[in-house]
Amino acid sequence: MNRFLYLIFIFLLACGTQKIAEYEDKSVRIDSSLAEGNLDSLIDPYREAMEEEMNQVIGEATVALEKSVPESPLGNFAAEATYLAGVAYGSRTKDVGGPNAMIKSFALLNYGGLRAPISKGDITIGNMYELMPFDNTLVLVKLSGDQVRACAKYLFGVHGQPVYNARFRLSSNSETMWIGEKEYNFDEEIIVITSNYLADGGDNMTFFNEPLRKWDSGIFLRDIFIDYVKEKKVLGRYPTTGKFHFVKTGE
pLDDT tens-digit readout, 207-240: 999 999 999 999 999 999 999 999 999 999 999 9
Beta sheet of 57-61, edge-to-edge order:
121-124, 57-61, 234-235
pLDDT at res. 17: 44
pLDDT in tens, 191-206: 999 999 999 999 999 9
Query: How far is it between the farthest Cα atoms of the chain?
Result: 73
Residue 243 reports pLDDT greater than 50: yes
Query: Does the N-terminal peptide bond of residue 99 adopt cis geometry, omega within 30 degrees of 0?
Result: no
Across 133-145, b (16+ Cβ under 10 Å) vs e yields: beebbbbbbbbbe
pLDDT for residue 51 is more than 50: yes
- Cα 18 to Cα 3: distance, rounded to the nearest angstrom: 26
Rounded Cα–Cα distance for residues 120 and 61 (Å): 5
Q: Is the pLDDT of residue 242 over 80?
A: yes
State pTM to two decimals. 0.82
Query: Which CATH homologous superfamily contains domain 60-246?
Result: 5'-Nucleotidase, C-terminal domain (3.90.780.10)
